[in-house]
């Protein structure tokens, strides 16, 4: 509100836009607030004391207060030239999509879904809502409709397919027919997305608090086979299909509960847990052939294959590897309490407990013992794995935990941030 007031005083247009307007109209609490304006980023920085320019493809301004961060974007123009053809770069990405626009009407056209293109000015005449593209009708019909031609818009930015799944699952909307048809055919375009962005966006879908509902949609639209191909294969047909299904349901249910309880969620924990069935399937196949592999080899091989679909940033990859390898260490006959000092300990115990409760009941006793120890051991603070931090802090093959830690959080290594 303060941001909008300041912009108005300086004679700029400024509206709340996107998910916050949509959610307020649906009587839901918005996750964050986005503002759209005709002021350019440098003008915003001069006007708003806490403004900072970020953004890789297009400059966005973040305005931080003690409790929240508002994202302010300058009106943009749709990249579709009038009467002309879109131009694509070598990787299939759209070119010329970085031009400023001058009006709400122009800005609305470059947004993803009609219900995300509602603009609200809370200060003008006691509140004005602008709806240029029929977003209100779709909102009342509880329908998610892509703005423009869906095949083109998904190709322009394939992440919109993941956003579609996220909104269908979290809002309980259905996809409009053409938007759905294009989604069913578009999955292979996910390979055009920068792998680190894909990794992030996939986490957003699964940690939206509606992961259990999103999962079958990701499978139905064949997006999962792009995001987690080996996990998808395990679920299709493998010696551990039944066990994998049980474990994944338990993981997603647990994740949703955590989000609804306001607890932290961990991207590394989630990926480790979703990759665990892949390791189990590989172990089972090796056993059939009378072969064995070390835990380090199994984890290394699984991670290397996963890296091919979504590149996992190093700080997360290290944590995922530790959580996975601890599954053996926690279950070894001579394992001792000193494992509780490791940074990945709490997340690893949590995964062990979910395994025990779903497809691997033989772990129940071990898991109960480790959970007792985890309760007595404070969880380390949320901080990043990665270069520098752990170089001198390794214990055996694992990364040690921070010397001071008392945050009491159950899953600990990171957070999914926008
Ligand atoms: P959430 O509740 O998750 O915050 P949201 O719709 O607000 O949902 P944001 O990522 O905060 O999602 O984006 C804000 C707005 O920016 C969206 O509502 C949409 O209008 C626009 N937007 C975001 N990502 C895209 C995209 N990939 N393509 C087009 N428009 C987008
Ligand atoms: Mg938002």
Report DSSP state, residue 93. Answer: P
The bound ligand whose nearest atom lies closest to the alpha carbon of 111 is 1
Q: Summarize pLDDT for 268-310 with one digit per residue, the tens.
A: 999 999 999 999 999 999 999 999 999 999 999 999 999 888 8
| pLDDT of amino acid 398 | 63
CA dihedral 136, 137, 140, 144 (to 10 degrees): -90
The CATH H-level (homologous superfamily) assignment of domain 228-399 is cca-adding enzyme, domain 2 (1.10.3090.10)
| pLDDT of amino acid 90 | 59
| pLDDT of amino acid 310 | 81
Ligand 1 midpoint to CA 317 (Å): 27
**Does residue 396 register a pLDDT over 70?**
no
Which of 16, 17, 18 to mutate to test ligand 1, by most ligand atoms within 8 A of the CB atom? 18
Closest residue CA from atom 8 of ligand 1: 19
Q: How far apart are CA 165 and CA 23, in angstroms?
A: 17
The CATH H-level (homologous superfamily) assignment of domain 2-141 is Beta Polymerase, domain 2 (3.30.460.10)
Could you tell me if 160 and 112 are in contact, meaning their C-beta atoms sit under 8 angstroms apart? yes
- Mean pLDDT over 165-186 rounds to 97
**Does residue 361 register a pLDDT over 80?**
yes
Q: How far apart are CA 159 and CA 412, in angstroms?
A: 27
Q: Which pTM value belongs to this model?
A: 0.87
Which of 57, 62, 75, 111 to mutate to test ligand 1, by most ligand atoms within 8 A of the CB atom? 111
Q: For residue 156, which atom of ligand 1 is closest to its CA?
A: 28
**Does residue 355 register a pLDDT over 80?**
yes
Share of residues in the chain with pLDDT > 90 (%): 71
| pLDDT of amino acid 244 | 94
Q: Which residues neighbour 400 within 8 Å (Cβ) at sequence distance 6 or greater?
A: 341, 342, 343, 390, 393, 394
Structure confidence at residue 84 as a pLDDT band (50, 70, 90): low
Ligand 2 midpoint to CA 30 (Å): 7
Which of 32, 108, 116 to mutate to test ligand 1, by most ligand atoms within 8 A of the CB atom? 116
Query: Residue 330: left if φ>0, alpha if ψ -120 to 50, beta else—which one?
Result: alpha
Neighbours of 418 (CB within 10 A): 8
Q: How far apart are CA 114 and CA 136, in angstroms?
A: 8
Lowest mean pLDDT: which of 236-240, 371-375, 388-392, 412-416?
A: 388-392
Lowest mean pLDDT: which of 247-251, 258-262, 391-395?
A: 391-395
Distances (CA, A) of 258 to 177, 323, 336, 409: 33, 19, 29, 11
Q: Summarize pLDDT for 108-142 with one digit per residue, the tens.
A: 999 999 999 999 999 988 899 999 999 999 999 99
- Mean pLDDT over 352-370 rounds to 95
Ligand 2 midpoint to CA 317 (Å): 27
| pLDDT of amino acid 388 | 32
Structure confidence at residue 403 as a pLDDT band (50, 70, 90): very low
Average confidence score pLDDT of the chain: 87
The bound ligand whose nearest atom lies closest to the alpha carbon of 171 is 1
Closest residue CA from atom 16 of ligand 1: 18
Neighbours of 32 (CB within 10 A): 13
| pLDDT of amino acid 80 | 63
Structure confidence at residue 67 as a pLDDT band (50, 70, 90): confident
Could you tell me if 244 and 354 are in contact, meaning their C-beta atoms sit under 8 angstroms apart? no
Q: How far apart are CA 243 and CA 355, in angstroms?
A: 9
| pLDDT of amino acid 205 | 96
Ion ligand 2 residue ranges (Cβ < 5 Å): 19, 32
Ligand 1 pocket, Cβ-based, cut-off 6 angstroms: 18-19, 31-32, 34, 111-112, 116-117, 157, 159-160
Closest residue CA from atom 17 of ligand 1: 18
User: Residue 151: how many CA atoms within 13 Å on its side-chain side?
Assistant: 4
SS3 146: strand
The bound ligand whose nearest atom lies closest to the alpha carbon of 24 is 1
The bound ligand whose nearest atom lies closest to the alpha carbon of 148 is 1
Closest residue CA from atom 26 of ligand 1: 112
Closest residue CA from atom 18 of ligand 1: 18
CA dihedral 210, 212, 213, 217 (to 10 degrees): 120
Residue with tokens 């303060």, as numbered in its chain: 2
Pick the closest to residue 179 from 115, 224, 94, 242 (CA basis). 115
Closest residue CA from atom 14 of ligand 1: 18
Ligand 1 midpoint to CA 231 (Å): 28
Structure confidence at residue 393 as a pLDDT band (50, 70, 90): very low
Which of 77, 80, 163 to mutate to test ligand 1, by most ligand atoms within 8 A of the CB atom? 163
By annotation, the residues acting in catalysis are 32, 34, 112
Domain extents in the chain: 2-141, 228-399
| pLDDT of amino acid 73 | 95
Closest residue CA from atom 27 of ligand 1: 160
SS3 400: strand
| pLDDT of amino acid 404 | 33
Q: What is the DSSP string of 15-40?
A: EEETHHHHHHHTT---S-EEEEESS-
């Amino acid at each position: 509100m303060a941001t909008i007031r300041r912009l108005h005083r300086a004679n700029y247009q400024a509206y709340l836009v996107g998910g916050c307007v949509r959610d307020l109209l649906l009587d839901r609490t918005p996750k964050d607030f986005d503002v759209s304006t005709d002021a350019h980023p440098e003008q915003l920085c001069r006007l708003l004391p806490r403004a900072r320019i970020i953004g890789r493809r297009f400059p966005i301004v973040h305005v931080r207060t003690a409790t929240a961060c508002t994202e302010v974007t300058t009106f943009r123009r749709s990249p579709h030239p009038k009467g002309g053809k879109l131009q694509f770069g070598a990787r299939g990405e759209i070119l010329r999509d970085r031009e400023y626009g001058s009006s709400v009407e122009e800005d609305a056209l470059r947004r993803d879904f009609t219900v995300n293109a509602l603009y609200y000015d809370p200060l003008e005449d006691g509140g004005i809502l602008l709806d240029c593209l029929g977003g209100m009708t779709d909102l009342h019909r509880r329908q998610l409709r892509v703005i423009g031609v869906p095949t083109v818009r998904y190709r322009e930015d394939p992440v919109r397919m993941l956003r579609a799944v996220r909104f269908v699952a979290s809002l309980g909307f259905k996809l409009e027919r053409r938007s759905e048809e294009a989604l069913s055919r578009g999955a292979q375009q996910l390979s055009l997305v920068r792998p680190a962005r894909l990794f992030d966006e996939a986490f957003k879908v699964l940690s939206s608090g509606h992961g259990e509902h999103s999962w079958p949609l990701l499978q139905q639209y064949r997006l999962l086979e792009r995001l987690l191909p080996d996990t998808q294969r395990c679920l299709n047909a493998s010696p551990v299909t039944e066990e994998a299904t049980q474990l994944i349901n338990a993981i997603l249910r647990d994740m949703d509960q955590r989000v609804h309880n306001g607890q932290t969620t961990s991207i590394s924990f989630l990926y480790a847990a979703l990759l665990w069935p892949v390791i189990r399937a590989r172990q089972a196949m090796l056993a059939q052939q009378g072969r064995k592999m070390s835990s380090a080899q199994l984890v290394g091989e699984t991670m290397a294959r996963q890296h091919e679909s979504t590149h996992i940033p190093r700080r997360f990859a290290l944590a995922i590897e530790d959580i996975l390898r601890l599954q053996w260490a926690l279950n070894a006959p001579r394992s001792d309490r000193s494992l509780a000092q490791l940074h990945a300990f709490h997340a690893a115990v949590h995964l062990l407990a979910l395994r025990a409760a779903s497809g691997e009941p033989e772990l129940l006793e071990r898991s109960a013992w480790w959970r007792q120890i985890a309760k007595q051991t404070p969880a380390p603070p949320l901080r990043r794995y990665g270069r520098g931090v752990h170089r001198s802090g390794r214990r055996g093959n694992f990364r040690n935990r921070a010397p001071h830690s008392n945050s009491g959080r159950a899953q600990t290594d990171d957070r999914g941030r926008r």
